[in-house]
Amino acid sequence: MYDIGTRKRALDLVGQGRSLNSVSRETGISRAAIRSWLHRLEPLPRAVQPDPGPPADESAYSYLLGLYLGDGCISAHPRGGFYLRIACADAWPGLLQQCREAITRVRPGVGVHTVRKQGYAAVTSYHRHWPGLFPQHGPGKKHERAIRLEPWQQVIVDDHPWEFVRGLVHSDGCRVTNWTTRLVAGERKRYEYPRYFFTNVSPDIRRLFTDTLDRLEVAWTECSRYGVPYNISVARRASVGLMDAHVGPKH
C-alpha cells in the first residue's frame, strides 16, 4: 500500500513527460499501479469485516473457553487479525481432535491447523475477532493479571458448566489413581482410589473452576506447596463419580 505522497511523486514524473517504464524503473513501482493512479489517486477504502457476533455453538464455546484459560493464548498478526493457539500434549491425541472440533463449532468456516512442537502440538486458528470471543486476552501472562468472565460468558458457563469444567481439566488437569494401605483382619492390604487434580497458578482461574464445581455440587479441596495454594483436588467417591460421568480422563 503506497501513501498519497508516493503516488503524487510518481505522477509528477509522468507529468514531466516520462514514460511509465522509466518511472517504474526509477521508483520501483509497477507500471500497472502507476497507470491505475492516473484514474484514481486515493486508495479504495478497505472493507471492514463485520464482527460475526456470539459463538455459533455455546456448548463448544464453554469447552473451548476452559481450554483457552488453561493452555491457550491469542497473538496479533502483523497485518491484522489474531491467532488463537491451544497447546495439546502429544500424550493425548484425542484432545487435539476435540480442540479442533470445538474451534470449528464455535466459528464455522475458520481455518484450523496444527503446528508441531517438541512434546505438544499447537492447534492454531486465524480470525479477526478472537479477542471479542475471549476478552480475557491481554498483555502478559494470565496469572499476572485479573481474569474475570464477562456477563455473557458467565451465562454460557452457567448453561454448560460441565463443558467448562471438562475444558479446564483437559488443559490443566488429570485423573490419577492413588493408593494407600489398610489393615484388614490383621493383614495390611493395598487400597487404590481415583481422584482428579486441577493445577493452575492463577488464583482467578482456580476460583472459576471451584465456583463451577460448587454449583455442580462437586466436593473439592485446595492443596498448597510451600504455603502457596496451586492445586485443586477432587477425591470423594461421589464427586469422582460425577467427574467420571461428565468429564472423564484425557485420551
Of the ranges 157-161, 219-223, 246-250, which one carries the lowest mean pLDDT score?
246-250
Q: Which of 70, 115, 116, 123 is nearest to 96 (CA)?
A: 123
Burial per residue of 18-46, b for 16 or more beta-carbon CB atoms within 10 angstroms, e otherwise: eebeebbeeeebeeeebeebeeeeeeeee
Higher pLDDT, 75 or 226: 75
Q: Which of 54, 56, 50, 47 is nearest to 109 (CA)?
A: 56
Does position 48 have pLDDT exceeding 60, yes or no? no
Say what the pTM is: 0.77
Q: What is the pLDDT of residues 87-100, one digit of tens each?
A: 998 888 789 999 99
Q: Which pLDDT score is estimated for 1?
A: 59
Q: Predicted confidence band at 32 (pLDDT cuts at 50, 70, 90)?
A: confident
- Distance between CA atoms of residues 155 and 34, nearest Å: 54
Q: What is the pLDDT of residues 64-80, one digit of tens each?
A: 999 999 999 999 887 78
Percent of the chain clearing pLDDT 70 (strictly above): 93
Q: Where are the beta strands (DSSP E) in the chain?
A: 72-76, 82-89, 113-117, 120-127, 173-184, 187-199, 221-225, 228-234
- Distance between CA atoms of residues 35 and 40, nearest Å: 9
- Distance between CA atoms of residues 67 and 62, nearest Å: 9
- Distance between CA atoms of residues 55 and 63, nearest Å: 12
Higher pLDDT, 153 or 223: 153
Task: State the burial class of residue 227 (Cβ atoms within 10 Å of its Cβ: 0-12, 13-18, 19+).
Answer: exposed
Does position 144 have pLDDT exceeding 90, yes or no? no
Which residues, 6 or more positions from 145, have their beta carbon under 8 angstroms from its beta carbon? 138, 139
